[in-house]
A and B are shown apart, each in its own frame.
Chain A
Amino acid sequence: MRYLVALIIWLCPLGAIAQEWEDQNAFGPASAQTTLRVLSSTDTSLFVPIIEDFLQEQPDVSIEYFVTGTAQIDQVFRAAPEDFDVVISSAMDLQLKLVNDGFSVKIENLDQPQWAQWRQSLFAFTTEPATIVINRAAFAPGAVPQTRQELIAAMRARPDIFRGRVGTYDVRESGLGYLFATQDARSSETFWRLMEVMGGLDARLYCCSGAMIDDLVAGKLMVAYNVLGSYVAARDDVAEKLEIVLPSDFPTTMMRTAFVSSRTDVEDEASAFVRHLVEVQTGPRNREVFPLPPLGSAVDGTGQAVISLEPALMTYLDPLKRRTFIKEWSSAVIQ
């Protein structure tokens, strides 16, 4: 986790040079005959147990694991699809559009429920809700807001505490942030009011959940909106300071997805990797060893559905639609 912190700090103004990775690691024997190149938005630390588990079964394979932001993944992969064998991202919309545009191959004999796969090519392997993470220092015990409405009210009541100390994704930078924001906007008008209130408090904008968590821990942030709760839970140094709130009005839950590139030269191994990934994430396993949240069910405990894998995800990727949305978002948040 140390390198992650270091990396995030200088990678946030990202995208200057395409081949600069947030993180890059090689696993398995150097003498291996085949090398799987995995392009991913998931932190290496969360993926290491799965990779090592896979390599134990496949001694002839080595894996190169490249980590970058979701928007970056889309750009890099579209530019050179032959450079990667497996693509993993939390931006479901970008992933679905890549598959729709013919960048993937089917993986046969991988039985997943209809809601957790698309075209037998794109496979979901986690369900992760977007959460509100608060710094316990800012709220009295028991007064922690449970819904967006309560959060709005709390921020309006004590603007001096929150000014400059609220944060959320910069949807212009982050693919996942954009997905969360557009899905929130679809669900309720409350989202826009929340954005306006946060904008009025000079909200700080972030590229990634990790950076928001770091600033929460450091006390620079009192509230962060739409943070991946799983990232907070994966860090053992924060439980004292931070509290994860699953908004009870409407949770927005995303699924991490993976597919095999249609331009891969090692389709069998790449398919085996995705199959292994899905099996580990859906089967019974030791949560201590595998920290990634598992693939839950289509509908969570509060009766709210995950963002569904369907062509409609491409709607907000339309440049005209995106332009309009960003314009609206900017006028609310940046002011």
Chain B
Amino acid sequence: MDDGVNVTGSLRARLALTLIGSAAAIAVLLFFVVRTYSAQIAQSGQDSILEASVTSILDAVTLREGDVEVDLPYVAFSMLSTDADDRVFYALWQDETLLSGYELLPVADAPDGGEIVLVSAIFDGAPVRVATAARILVGANDRMRVTVSVAQTQDALAGTLNRISRNVGLIGAGFFILSVLVASWATNTTIRPMERLTNSITRRGPKDLTPVARPVPLEMAPLVASLNSFMARLDTSLKQSEDFIAEAAHRVRTPLATVRSHAEATLQRVEREDNRQALRSMVRAIDESSRAAGQLLDHAMITFRADHLETHEVDLVELVEDLVTRLTPVAEMKDIALTVVSEGEARVEADAILLQNALRNLVENALKYVPEESEITLEVSATPRPRIEVRDEGPGFPPDQMQDLAARFSRGENAKDTIGSGLGLTIAKDVAMAHGGELTLTNMPEGGACVTLLL
């Protein structure tokens, strides 16, 4: 498909990559944002319980006869129960002395006003969250500062975070997969008009140079416009050269006819054998040239008409019989019988002039390449596809050249002594193809050539 085309990169890949890449980036971003946010929420949940615990203990601190008493409320720790059975630590300080609890527990500096300070720390090898608050107690003759810290490990929090991470991860992955689907769908819709254009141009016949008519997206308009104008120029220059060939052939043929008639007349009068010989080869050369010019003209006409088919309903049987009538005099000179085989009518939509031309070439060939006193059969049938078969009893096509004979100017070995230009089968084939059919050459087992024109 891209034979000989210099390809770098792919629009589809670039588009898909951009879309999928940004989807992946968004998914990752989403994951981290949601996770961070939920971590904060989860942490603030733990913090508020720790705060309540510290407050309840601080409230239970009293001064009795100069002694600090703490009637630790049961609820202060029972509110710290978690699903993951988190460990709980606490410390009660009076100024710089430990009243009770865990001496090594890291304690934050808390302001005197009872405001609670929260810090994260490591205690006994485990990450903990520590809430600390302090209170000033004023006794009869002294002032003291009581500090309360409550800490809790973060197992339940970690569990919650893992659960959230897993869920957010799943959501992110789902979002990403959806994005990939959307990206591939978007890429395909974007690329599709281009594929459609490519298809419609690939499917065109070799001679179809008409402008692209189907609507295309805005972005492709410049490309299609320049393609159209390019094809228009190509079409014009092709037509010009065909016209030129036709004109040239026509201009050559008329003077050649004059030269030939003069040469014939002279041949009647000349006695000397070598002069007669020269004149005969001259006549033959003129015939060759004239034949070539005629065939070139026909070929040009057919190429032109193939682009602008003028189809009507044609009865193939009638067409063949017409042709036979016209060619019978020529056939009789070689004692050749022209037989038509058919089963009633065979009506098709076709360009009659082109078909006549093609058929004439086929029958001319048969007349040219078969010995005298033989039979040429033209068989017409309408089913399964309309077809005309021209069979003769001659030597058949040279087997090793068979596939090339329909090419332009190609002549077989058996044609050395006959006049011809090598365009007859080309014309017949072009006509068949212009009608969406084909031309096949075969040799029959009992001898003789068979040409099938399939429509």
B141, CB-defined interface residue at 8 Å: no
A102, CB-defined interface residue at 8 Å: yes
Q: Kindly list chain A residues whose C-beta atoms are within 8 Å of the C-beta of B282.
A: none
Q: Kindly list chain B residues whose C-beta atoms are within 8 Å of the C-beta of A318.
A: 70, 72, 100-101
Q: Kindly list chain A residues whose C-beta atoms are within 8 Å of the C-beta of B101.
A: 318
Q: Kindly list chain A residues whose C-beta atoms are within 8 Å of the C-beta of B84.
A: 119
Tally the A-B contacts, defined by beta carbons under 8 Å. Answer: 57
Q: Kindly list chain B residues whose C-beta atoms are within 8 Å of the C-beta of A315.
A: 72-74, 76-78
Q: How large is the interface on B (under 10, 10 to 19, 20 to 34, 35 or more residues)?
A: 20 to 34
A311 touches B72 (CB 8 A): no
A311 touches B78 (CB 8 A): yes
B209, CB-defined interface residue at 8 Å: no
A66, CB-defined interface residue at 8 Å: no
A202, CB-defined interface residue at 8 Å: no
B132 nearest CB across to chain A (Å): 17
A310 touches B77 (CB 8 A): yes
**B83 nearest CB neighbor, chain A only:** A114
B208, CB-defined interface residue at 8 Å: no
Q: How far is the CA of A314 from the CA of B80 in the complex (A)?
A: 12
A321 touches B71 (CB 8 A): yes
A6, CB-defined interface residue at 8 Å: no
Q: How far is the CA of A218 from the CA of B75 in the complex (A)?
A: 43
A186, CB-defined interface residue at 8 Å: yes
A206, CB-defined interface residue at 8 Å: no
A119 touches B85 (CB 8 A): yes
A100, CB-defined interface residue at 8 Å: yes
**B155 nearest CB neighbor, chain A only:** A119
A326, CB-defined interface residue at 8 Å: no
B87 touches A100 (CB 8 A): yes
A102 touches B72 (CB 8 A): no
**Contact (A312, B75) CB under 8 Å given A119-B85, A318-B70:** yes
**Contact (A310, B81) CB under 8 Å given A102-B125, A318-B101:** yes
B69, CB-defined interface residue at 8 Å: yes
Q: Enumerate chain A interface residues (CB-CB to B < 8 A).
A: 100-102, 114, 118-120, 186, 310-315, 318-321, 324
With A312-B76, A312-B80, A312-B81 given, name 10 new contacts (CB 8 A): A100-B88, A102-B87, A102-B124, A119-B85, A119-B87, A310-B81, A311-B88, A314-B88, A318-B72, A318-B101
Q: Enumerate chain B interface residues (CB-CB to A < 8 A).
A: 69-78, 80-81, 83-89, 92, 99-101, 124-125
Pick 29 A–B contacts, CB within 8 A, sort by A. A100-B87, A100-B88, A100-B89, A101-B124, A102-B87, A102-B124, A102-B125, A118-B85, A119-B87, A120-B85, A310-B78, A311-B80, A312-B75, A312-B77, A312-B78, A313-B77, A315-B72, A315-B73, A315-B77, A315-B78, A318-B101, A319-B100, A320-B69, A320-B71, A320-B72, A320-B92, A321-B71, A324-B69, A324-B71
